[in-house]
């Protein structure tokens, strides 16, 4: 009986390391190269990506949930800032205290948004991560920059990015929630 259990255990461990070696190590190394470039991968990325491959169950089963949670928190902060923005009538200047609160929400949204893995978001719902990074995060970065540097062009670009994000997200929110 012990011999059978030992063989089963050895087979399971062997199968685990075969998947690490032949599936997850190339996968995580390739993704690291795509995301950070060959030079960064060559300096230390292969160690990071290979370590991630060894711990693949964690990344497969929990990281996408964490990314969704971070994206949700980021969107929640964005929505809180939007409520403050929308309470002001058109052509009415936002008070300094409201602007400080808006910027705080945007900084929180940016911090949470940067924690989300774009690939995980794309796996959760097609193009979610791409829109999140390209429009949501970039729009918030530009908004914060525009307020800190009084850069009007960043403000205009921020508005355009965030409008694109809002349009895409509104069109897809039901399908995203359905996942």
- Residue 31 region, left (φ>0) first, then alpha (ψ -120 to 50), else beta? alpha
What's the average model confidence in pLDDT over 134-151? 95
What's the average model confidence in pLDDT over 91-108? 91
Residue 63: is it exposed, middle or buried by C-beta count within 10 angstroms (0-12/13-18/19+)?
middle
Greater pLDDT, 96 or 59: 96
Instruction: Specify the pTM.
Output: 0.66
Q: Taking the domains of the chain in order of start, what are their residue ranges?
A: 1-54, 61-179
């Amino acid at each position: 009986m012990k011999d059978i259990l030992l063989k089963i255990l050895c087979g399971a461990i062997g199968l685990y390391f075969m998947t690490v070696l032949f599936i997850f190590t190339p996968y995580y190394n390739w993704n690291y190269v795509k995301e950070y470039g060959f030079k960064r991968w060559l300096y230390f990325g292969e160690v990071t990506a290979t370590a991630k491959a060894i711990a693949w169950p964690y990344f497969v089963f929990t990281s996408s949930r964490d990314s969704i949670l971070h994206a949700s928190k980021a969107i929640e902060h964005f929505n809180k800032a939007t409520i403050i923005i929308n309470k002001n009538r058109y052509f009415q200047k936002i008070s300094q205290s409201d602007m400080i609160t808006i910027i705080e929400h945007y900084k929180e949204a940016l911090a949470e948004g940067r924690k989300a893995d774009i690939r995980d978001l794309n796996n959760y719902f097609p193009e979610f991560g791409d829109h999140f990074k390209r429009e949501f995060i970039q729009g918030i970065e530009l908004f914060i920059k525009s307020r800190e540097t009084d850069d009007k062009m960043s403000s205009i670009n921020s508005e355009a990015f965030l409008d694109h994000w809002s349009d895409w997200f509104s069109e897809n929110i039901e399908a995203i929630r359905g996942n």
